[in-house]
Structure 1
Amino acid sequence: MSFAFTEQEAARVRLARLIGITLDPIGRGDLALIVVLSTIYLFNFCSVGFLICNRNYPPLKSKYPFLMSACVLAMFLWFLGDLVLKSHVHVRGPVLSNCMLFCVWMRVVFGCYMVSVLISIRSYALFCIFCKSRAYRGKRMVFSSGAVVLVAVVFVVVTYALPRSHIIQYVPLLEMCNMSHTYRAVTQGLLWFTWVVNAVINFRLRNITSSFNESREMLVACVCVFVILTFNTTLLYVDPHYPTRAGLRIAETLLSHALPNFLWWFIMFKSMYSCAFNRTEYLEVWKGKLLRDGLQKQYRISRADPFSVTMVSVQSNLGKMVTIPRAMVTDHDGFDAHMSFSDRSVDNMRAGGADTQAGEGPSCPPWRISISHPRCAGALSSEEQLDAADAHLLFSPHDADGQPPARMEGSSTTSTVNVHTAASFSCYNFPVPPKP
């Protein structure tokens, strides 16, 4: 494929002038764009290979590696569709002249729409974790995937229900694919709808207290995509023939792919770089952040790690959750890992603490092995009996007005206590915040 100004290209420019269209020839600017973006996507695919090979590394696993890998593939298909729709290459032959394949299926359905819904699914997954305290799996995954497929099916049905003249046509004289105004409106409406839904989800995520900056990542995603959508929509209606102008088509394609690639690396760079060059140290730091957010259950991190004690600063967000072992609030035999933290269990705990002063007190719980206590020897073996999935409760340092501890919504194995009740934990060597 030639990017020089050949006689055939000169004839194409003259034919366009006869029908009142100023057509810039396909030249070295288009070639430079193709080389730059192809190099970026080649590097991205190498990075995806690294991501898949290290998908079980917890910080990368929390980024949904298969979803983010599919996002790179969708961006590449979007790029291939743009090459044809915006005339960066000579649209000739039975393959490239198939405008439905490149411009509808590759660019829209499996390209920009797929990128949009994959980022939206990630936002919804974060919403499940941070707002609903539930892992993204089961019915939540089925619901989001079903909604994505349903919208895509409706879009495809509408596409094939419209006459071909109202969708996209190949113009042999100009060697271009021409998309109708009606179909441009349908396509842009689909993308705007997807990202408005994404923005609503991200608005619900605005107050999360995570150390991983998920809310900031999604804010950047929305800003990037709304910039692209605004620019692209304006260009489509102000200058519908912009692919005939070299400067406009190069600028639009460059912006359309530079921002999504920046967004992808903004989300993935830190975890991938740390996995490659600082694997062990970053994992320990990551686990510490996970503990401070109280998200071991949602991210399926093993509680066999020494997530022992976490200081809750009085300057921190009072709604922030941290995790403490359930064994730390009991001091009696017959410990029940499924027992909720209630007023009765507080009384039992205090009674057990008093009984230790009179001869046959309760056995030492495993977490007290570090405390100087005559009955702590050999107690670590009982720690293995704790249920890894249910042996923690969430501690929320709310300033309550003497209200009894409220049970967490939708949870059977966690409870919420306030700073006044938490003061009784001081005898268990657990650092609790002072009263505000």
Structure 2
Amino acid sequence: MFPDPSIEDRRAAAALSMDINLDRRSTADLAIVTTISAIYFIDLLAVLFMLWNRRYPPIKAKSPILMACLFLSSALWFVGDVQMNGHVTLANTALTKCLGLGFWVRILLGICGVCAVFALRSFALYHVFCLNQPYRGVKVYWPVIVYSACILAYGVVALVLKSEKTLYYVGPLDICSSAVGFKASVIGFVWITLAFVAFNYWRIRHIKSSFNESKEMGGACLLIFITTLYSTLVQFLYPRFPLSMAYRVSLTVLSHLCTNVIWWGTMFVPLWGCLFNRRVYLDQWIEKLRRDGLQRKYHLESTSLVRGEFTPADIAMNEAVMREYVYKGPDTYAFYYDGEGGGQRDMAVEGDVSVRALNWMQARNSKDVGFGNDRFLL
């Protein structure tokens, strides 16, 4: 897959006969593919850590499932870029089938997937902060259902068409190329998706939030816009961009720098706090919500708090369901509850904050409190 001197010689001869400039694939392409692959491996470790701690309130507030989908779509985008941007040898491999990776993986699952994640997140923020409605239930996912149906229909149509009218392999140059009309339709589809993302961001630009969700969305929209604009200009002004070292490297680096900046810009602070300062950061996070008066906006359903991890802030937030607590040391509290054991109740905490006690904790004795999988909705 990586530069084969004989194939590169053949490509150079073909380009010369066609009077086309061609930059041979070199160790620079290998370095780009290797470096970005290593970055995505680090991202994968971060995603696994995020999902393992998905019930940690500051992480859960960032929609960890959506952020995992963002990572997956970005990685698929990169896999497609390796083929379509001409970083590796395609000859004598399955990569000569351009429509599979170049369209389905790179465009539909990759680029459109990234845009869909941001559209869904902005739509969720609009529901919570502007409409004051919880973002749950089938009805709130209708935009994703409609968009997924459009993607599926578009993909099926592309499969039915002849390869000469969509994406096709150019043997002498060992690259994938696309028909002008198909390229225009693909880029138009991406821009329509971006327009929906931008529309949702415009609706949430003035929301009051504790953790800069509006700024995060604004920055993400700007980065995606810049990347898509550059890609559009390159593909139309220089259709044979995979033959140019400068264009193929810059396009790949810009695209995946963009996706990584967006992902880490959203998740770095809660992941760092969870990993290195778990309890203190959670206290600070809850305290900020209380100061801003936004506890209800950031309610965290079924948030698991592991054994021995309850803090003074947790106690303060849930004091209405407690009869008393006994201090057991610098990091542990024993709890005694009002009520009759199991079941669910809604009760007011600190005025207007609704807290549901799920799976009530049962104190075995004053020295050993059963935490287990007990959960609260903060």
Same fold (TM over 0.5): yes
**TM-score when scaled to structure 1?**
0.69
Distance 1:31 1:389, change over 3 A: farther
What letter matches 1:248 in structure 2? Y
1:10-409 to structure 2, matched below 5 A, reads 10-291=9-290, 292-296=292-296, 299-300=299-300, 305-307=315-317, 387-388=345-346
Q: Which moved more, 1:89-98 or 1:108-117?
A: 89-98
The residue number in structure 1 matching 2:361 is none
C-alpha distance in structure 1 between counterparts of 2:206 and 2:317, whole Å? 25
What letter matches 1:306 in structure 2? A
C-alpha distance in structure 1 between counterparts of 2:8 and 2:318, whole Å? 71
Distance 1:2 1:156, change over 3 A: closer
The residue number in structure 2 matching 1:413 is none
Specify the SS of the correspondent of 1:306. Answer: helix
C-alpha distance in structure 1 between counterparts of 2:273 and 2:140, whole Å? 29
C-alpha distance in structure 2 between counterparts of 1:224 and 1:70, whole Å? 18
Partner deviation per Cα, 1:99-147 (whole Å, 9 max, x = no partner): 1111011101111111110121111111111111122210344313312
Partner deviation per Cα, 1:242-279 (whole Å, 9 max, x = no partner): 11101111011100110111011000100001000111
The residue number in structure 2 matching 1:416 is none
C-alpha distance in structure 2 between counterparts of 1:295 and 1:148, whole Å? 32
Offset of 1:21 from its aligned partner? Answer: 1.8
What letter matches 2:346 in structure 1? A
Partner deviation per Cα, 1:289-336 (whole Å, 9 max, x = no partner): 223242436523689742499xxxxxxxxxxxxxxx9xxxxxxxxxxx
The residue number in structure 2 matching 1:3 is 3
C-alpha distance in structure 1 between counterparts of 2:350 and 2:112, whole Å? 41
Does the 8 Å contact 2:61/2:298 carry over to 1?
no
Distance 1:2 1:85, change over 3 A: closer
C-alpha distance in structure 1 between counterparts of 2:45 and 2:208, whole Å? 33
Specify the SS of the correspondent of 1:134. Answer: coil
Structure 1: which 5+ runs fail to align?
A: 310-324, 326-365, 367-379, 396-436
Distance 1:207 1:197, change over 3 A: same
Q: Provide the alpha-carbon RMSD of the alignment.
A: 2.9
C-alpha distance in structure 1 between counterparts of 2:293 and 2:94, whole Å? 52
What letter matches 2:110 in structure 1? G
Does the 8 Å contact 2:116/2:144 carry over to 1?
no
Distance 1:2 1:196, change over 3 A: closer
Does the 8 Å contact 2:210/2:294 carry over to 1?
no
Offset of 1:389 from its aligned partner? Answer: 5.8
Distance 1:389 1:91, change over 3 A: farther
Offset of 1:188 from its aligned partner? Answer: 1.0
Offset of 1:53 from its aligned partner? Answer: 0.9
Partner deviation per Cα, 1:369-420 (whole Å, 9 max, x = no partner): xxxxxxxxxxx959x999536667659xxxxxxxxxxxxxxxxxxxxxxxxx
C-alpha distance in structure 2 between counterparts of 1:161 and 1:230, whole Å? 29
Distance 1:234 1:297, change over 3 A: closer
Pick the structure with greater CA Rg: 1
Specify the SS of the correspondent of 2:270. Answer: helix
Does the 8 Å contact 1:211/1:293 carry over to 2?
no
Does the 8 Å contact 1:209/1:293 carry over to 2?
no
C-alpha distance in structure 1 between counterparts of 2:345 and 2:2, whole Å? 67
Structure having the higher strand fraction is 2
**Higher normalized contact order (CA 8 Å, seq sep 6+, divided by chain length):** 2
Offset of 1:235 from its aligned partner? Answer: 0.9
Does the 8 Å contact 1:87/1:176 carry over to 2?
yes
Offset of 1:3 from its aligned partner? Answer: 3.1
Specify the SS of the correspondent of 2:316. Answer: coil
C-alpha distance in structure 1 between counterparts of 2:25 and 2:12, whole Å? 10
Distance 1:2 1:197, change over 3 A: closer
Structure 2: which 5+ runs fail to align?
A: 304-312, 324-336, 354-378
Q: Which moved more, 1:384-393 or 1:178-187?
A: 384-393
C-alpha distance in structure 1 between counterparts of 2:49 and 2:75, whole Å? 18
Offset of 1:177 from its aligned partner? Answer: 0.8
What letter matches 1:100 in structure 2? L
Offset of 1:38 from its aligned partner? Answer: 0.8
